[in-house]
Chains A and B, each alone.
Chain A
């Protein structure tokens, strides 16, 4: 356990991080992107490496095919990552607009919501009334509170969609370059393993998960999938 609770940060910064962490921990695993350009890069690199590996297993003597495929994947990953980011931003902006409208037009209901939130935290009676009144005083502050406390959203944690897509592009480039090096100089299998190792370690570090477990699970999964493709090829073709 850490002894420095705030890790040298202000209480506000600490609270912001704690809420962001809460949001991430509660996020659904499948299809939920962790915010940030580094995770986008790791995700894109991992996908590119695995897809190129499958192609190599299926068409081992057509190197040009891999790189044309990688070029298409590069554009697709960049574009898709940016589009996902913008779609998320649009959703979040819509939520904030709706909440602001409620604060302006449904003050009584907002007051009730706020009272319920703080009642659940142990406040009651006059103290609860005073706390709610002060929180309701400033609309800017109230919107902040409602977004974070009511909706569980964290502010200022997402990267700009373009920065995120830049990360995805870099991920594809790194995976392709490693695969090319593996193809021409050592082994595509080793290249894929290297890419997956880097991606798994970066993601585990960002998520503060156990690195060895994350790494081994990722490598095992790709080995299993690649083996399945190889043996299915032998079976069907």
Chain B
């Protein structure tokens, strides 16, 4: 059975032909890295043309026309687009220089400019494509349809946008709740970790409110819709993200800004030299010693090959190095932005902690004494049949203590409530406080959110859980502080839980009980004081991630919304990479500066003698290309892990 074509990737990639719905799947690969392949082929033809130029000029020119066709046509189209927008930039300068070089008989030099220019554009395209395709692979779709229960009881799908308030929707175990609503039938545990940062799932039953975006864990729920999709919790957060993105400081690439001034200046100077040299120095206008020739030579020599390659080669090398480590920046410029950050804001659940629960202890509360190991065996044997973070934590706890799982008879699961069964002839029940109180008719102490209760033939036990800290989190915090970065924790979880984690990790500033809008406000406030990077994973972090100077999300545990809103993704959720990323960002910045200085130095060194007629044009071009090679080699240093 063929899977129907999904248009999401096609539109997300801005209608790239490599994912075009109209092309046969087998032929789409013909469009892959087309610019790069075209640039490399043009480079090969240029090399052949250069060799042939020593034997047969017409034959060499045949190949050269192919180079101008392959590399020159895209450059010409781009430049005309720029000019139609009244923009004079490096692209325009390079194209102008390349085509004007034909007039003064330097076709090979012009072709070289075009090939390098095309190569640079292809590398930039590759950077964008590389990050985009990986992000798409991570993208987990949020629900766009819901199962409606019709008046006659028939269940059918309907678009979220068309579901009115009061409609009844069915949400099965494992599905995401699509719209805000009130439970009218069923019971289940729901996971709010991505929405609020609370790691403990909550039991929901008739009459309880459930928000859109929450995960339904173990039961089937029938919900009466209380808010339309436009007003749902997730939609409100997405609106916040849009507002935050608009408020985000625009990071303009230095080279773009510089390029506009540089290109305009060089073009104007060339015109000025063409007119002034004959007027003031008595040179002829035409001929190889004339003013126009020298002005054109100046224009070509000042075309910044090394400069245009300085940024994409550095970014591509840095991004490749990051990708090998499991870091995915959405564009090289984000690395630049990381290097400027003075504050780091960290979410708690899922970021500093794994979001998984760990059983820390067992305590007998009342009843005849029972071997705790037997109690653990009974609890784990029952929970082995459940799909719930607590169940996983309990079975892992039993395994770590090498306690054997026992066979269970008469097992029954009451979704969102608890489990019951007979384990090794011991009738037992396990679950949340209300369930045990009701079933065992015992009174329990005040509720501990991170706990579950076991009742075995009159003996009552409580198991305590904690959110697991990520390995290396403490080391990372210490490193960031050592680099004079201000470290703060922003969490939607309760203050007590947040303080405990912060204390253990050495974080001094903690802001707890924050709703998504509070996180956004806090990040806005902090970012006004100094550039800030925010690390988070939940939907509730997404607006703050979008607003921060740099938003970093956890790729595995992270919600699709957070991944979308962030600028950099840690694919394997490894927080220890923050330390490495910070170093790499500084290294990238340093190498970029070196590249730009080198490129400008070469241009200055090559253009002045060309203008004065001290060196022929081909010498200037060779100096140029020497600089380009050096810039490329310097960028390759960033590939090192």
- Chain A residues near B (Cβ < 8 Å): 10, 12-13, 16, 89, 92-93, 96-97, 100, 107, 130, 133-134, 136-141, 143-144, 147, 153, 155-163
Contacts and interface: CB of A to CB of B under 8 A. Distances in A.
B22 A158 contact: yes
B597 interface: no
17 contacts: A13-B2, A89-B17, A92-B22, A96-B15, A100-B7, A107-B161, A136-B159, A136-B162, A137-B162, A139-B144, A140-B4, A140-B6, A141-B4, A155-B22, A157-B22, A160-B23, A162-B30
Contacts of B21: 96, 147, 155-156
A158 B15 contact: no
Contacts of A13: 2
Given A12-B1, A137-B159, A139-B159, A156 B23 contact: yes
Interface string B143-179: 0110000000010111101100000000000000000
B145 A160 contact: no
A138 B17 contact: no
B25 interface: yes
B157 A158 contact: no
Q: How large is the interface on B (under 10, 10 to 19, 20 to 34, 35 or more residues)?
A: 20 to 34
Given A137-B157, A158-B23, A143 B7 contact: yes
A133 B24 contact: no
A134 B145 CA distance: 10
A57 B176 CA distance: 75
B31 interface: yes
Nearest to A147: B21
B2 A12 contact: yes
Contacts of A153: 22
Contact of A138 (B20, B27, B34, B157): B157
Contact of A156 (B6, B24, B154, B159): B24
B4 A89 contact: no
A10 B4 contact: no
Contacts of A163: 27, 30
B371 interface: no
B470 to A, nearest CB: 36
Nearest to B32: A160
B5 interface: yes
Nearest to A135: B157
Contacts of A144: 4-5, 7
A205 B595 CA distance: 59
A131 B78 CA distance: 47
Nearest to A96: B21
A107 B162 CA distance: 10
A143 B158 CA distance: 15
A89 B17 CA distance: 8
A97 to B, nearest CB: 7
Given A140-B7, A156-B5, A162-B31, A89 B159 contact: no
A100 B7 CA distance: 10
Contacts of A97: 15
**Most central of A89, A141, A156 by chain B CB within 10 Å:** A156
A160 B159 contact: no
Contact of A159 (B2, B5, B23, B144): B23
Given A147-B21, A158-B22, A161-B30, 7 more contacts: A13-B2, A96-B21, A107-B161, A140-B4, A140-B7, A153-B22, A155-B5
Contacts of B23: 89, 156, 158-160
Nearest to B159: A137
Interface of A is mostly: helix
A158 B4 contact: no
Contact of B157 (A10, A16, A134, A157): A134
Contacts of A147: 21
Contact of A10 (B2, B10, B31, B162): B2
A93 B7 contact: no
B78 to A, nearest CB: 16
B31 A156 contact: no
B17 A158 contact: no
A136 B234 CA distance: 22
A155 B29 CA distance: 17
A93 B157 CA distance: 28
B28 interface: yes
Contacts of B158: 133-134, 136-137
Contact of A160 (B1, B10, B27, B154): B27
Contacts of B154: 130
A96 B21 CA distance: 9
A55 B100 CA distance: 38
B1 A133 contact: no
Contacts of B157: 134, 137-138
A136 B157 CA distance: 9
A117 to B, nearest CB: 18
A130 B156 contact: yes
Nearest to A153: B22
Cβ-closest 3 pairs across A and B: A160-B30, A137-B157, A160-B27
A160 B22 CA distance: 9
Nearest to B62: A71
Contacts of B271: none
Contacts of A107: 161-162
A153 B15 CA distance: 17
A225 B1 CA distance: 50
Contact of A158 (B7, B8, B11, B24): B24
A112 to B, nearest CB: 14
B615 to A, nearest CB: 37
Nearest to A88: B22
B24 A157 contact: yes
A76 to B, nearest CB: 12
B5 to A, nearest CB: 6
B461 to A, nearest CB: 47
A89 B24 CA distance: 12
A130 B156 CA distance: 8
A159 B144 CA distance: 32
Contacts of B5: 144, 155-156
B159 A10 contact: no
Contacts of B11: 100
Contacts of A133: 156, 158, 162
Contacts of A134: 156-158
**Most central of A97, A155, A157 by chain B CB within 10 Å:** A155
A82 to B, nearest CB: 10
Contacts of A96: 7, 10, 15, 21
A192 to B, nearest CB: 28
A155 B158 CA distance: 25
A12 B27 CA distance: 20
Contacts of B27: 158-160, 163
**Most central of A10, A100, A139, A160 by chain B CB within 10 Å:** A160
Contacts of B10: 96
A160 B158 CA distance: 36
Interface in B25-82: 25, 27-31, 34
A12 B156 CA distance: 22
Contacts of B2: 10, 12-13, 16
Contacts of A130: 154, 156
A179 B321 CA distance: 54
Nearest to A133: B158
A141 B15 CA distance: 18
Given A156-B5, A156-B22, A138 B159 contact: yes
B15 A138 contact: no
Contacts of B6: 140
A130 B162 CA distance: 13
Given A156-B25, A158-B22, A158-B24, A138 B156 contact: no
